[in-house]
Amino acid sequence: MRCLALEFSAGEPDGSDLQRKDVHPLEEAQGFRALLDLEEPKYSIEQIGARVGKSPVFVTSRLKLTDLVPSAVDAFYADEIGVGHALLLAKLPADQQITALTACFKEVYSSGASKPARILLPVRNLQFWIDSNILLVLKDAPFNKRDAQLVPVAGSCADCAKRTGHNKLLFGDDLGKQGDRCTDPGCYAAKVSAHVAKSIAAKPELVQISTAYGAQKEGSPVLPRNKYTAIRDDKPKSTDEAKRPEFKVCKFTTEAIISEGSDIGTIHKVCANPACPVHHPKKQTSTDDATWKADQEKQRREQAIANATGLRVLAAVGAAVPVRLLKRDLLFVIEKLVSVMDENRVETLARQHGIRQKRDDGGISKTLTVFVRRADEGTLSRLLVEASILLAASRGNPATALKDAASAYKVDTDAIAAKVKQEFAAKEKAKKTAQPAVKAAKKVA
């Protein structure tokens, strides 16, 4: 590569040595790097591009290939990955490249084979994986991005070479779509942790909360999601919505910082007082106890009917799904959807196909993954639509998600709902008929 640089600097008019068809992109990148490192004559990226008939963006991208880690270089030379994969990997810090390299491939199990076959995924798959697992939008960061002392060893984000906005020639297309993003999740997480610690030190009265439900460890100052009510800042859209507790402010309302779960480091208003009559009203007692219990039983029954109806509609929609996509495409999309679903919805999806969790199976997600990889195209098509509906229901109104799906696949939701109600009514009738017989048996005994 050094000889290419010397020939070029000696006055080669068109840079043909760097444009030969048999030159590997990595060798081309090393040639550009050697030229850029020359002390005399001194070349800029623009000058190199002009001499070889390439744009500054092309030269910058090729130069970035010299930052590939050894394992990625070996895979590139061995034609295990393409130039598109290599360029995406080269844009990441070294430690992230190693992880991202494994995301370039998918292991496929076939009958009779002792080892899984490794298949190279398209460049768009790697881009999606990087967007989902590594790149972080800086405008959403809870900390001050210009604070160089938050994590002194990292410095200010404004001066950091690991953000996409630092090199517009390299990340120009991404900046227009996503804005400035951080390519180092470890550094980002360290700054979020430092921001939380700094905020709590500045305001010791700040309540620490988690977005996860359940009990916390003994002595932990962090309140789980079921121990507080988050007060919403937006205005209610209807009169009924205005009556909901999260749209009301009480005398116990205070500021809290999320220190565990999602959106760590953000500040919210909450009510964490269990005695608050606005956000934690007491249950009906004494004379109204029977009425309250009846209302609760009615609500539980209606919810059970709604859940059963929803599952029947989901099954009917899944049965109406045609086989269209290739199996590899279906498998990829389903695995991605399942990876972002919570455990309850993964279990719901699994039960739709007769899968039950066993203690020694390693969890419902693992069991479902094995089932998916062995399924045919028809089952995968059904799984794809069902997973999309469940995921949409978790992010919005479940009833709306099911209604839209039922409309698209011409499923008669009214007929399903009527049948479910009949089944519940029959069960209640049988239960009431059985109760006198049980009481009579007890008296005889």
How much is the pLDDT for 85?
Answer: 94
How much is the pLDDT for 11?
Answer: 42
How much is the pLDDT for 115?
Answer: 80
* Region for residue 83 given its phi and psi (left: phi exceeds 0; alpha: psi -120 to 50; beta: otherwise): alpha
How much is the pLDDT for 175?
Answer: 62
Domain with CATH 1.10.10.2830 in the chain: 2-131
Mean pLDDT of 258-277: 89
| pLDDT tens string 171-197 | 776 666 678 888 888 899 999 999 999
Q: Can you name the CATH fold of 2-131?
A: Arc Repressor Mutant, subunit A (1.10.10)
How much is the pLDDT for 10?
Answer: 39
DSSP characters for 308-341? HHHHHHHHHHHHTPPP-S-HHHHHHHHHHHHHTS
| pLDDT tens string 372-425 | 888 888 888 888 888 888 888 777 777 787 788 788 888 888 888 888 888 888
Element (H, E) at 231: strand 229-231
C-alpha triplet 280, 281, 286: angle, nearest 5°: 140
The runs of H, that is alpha helices, within 37-82 are: 45-52, 56-64, 70-77
Instruction: With cut-offs at 50, 70 and 90, classify the pLDDT of residue 358.
Output: low
Alpha carbon distances (Å) from 351 to 64, 97, 216, 280, 356: 48, 37, 30, 35, 6
How much is the pLDDT for 7?
Answer: 43
How much is the pLDDT for 89?
Answer: 94
Q: Give the distance, in angstroms, between the CA of residue 10 and the centroid of all CA atoms in the same chain.
A: 53
3-state percent breakdown (helix, strand, coil) of the chain, nearest 5 = 60, 10, 35
Contact 123, 129 (CB under 8 A): no
How much is the pLDDT for 322?
Answer: 67
pTM of the predicted protein model: 0.55
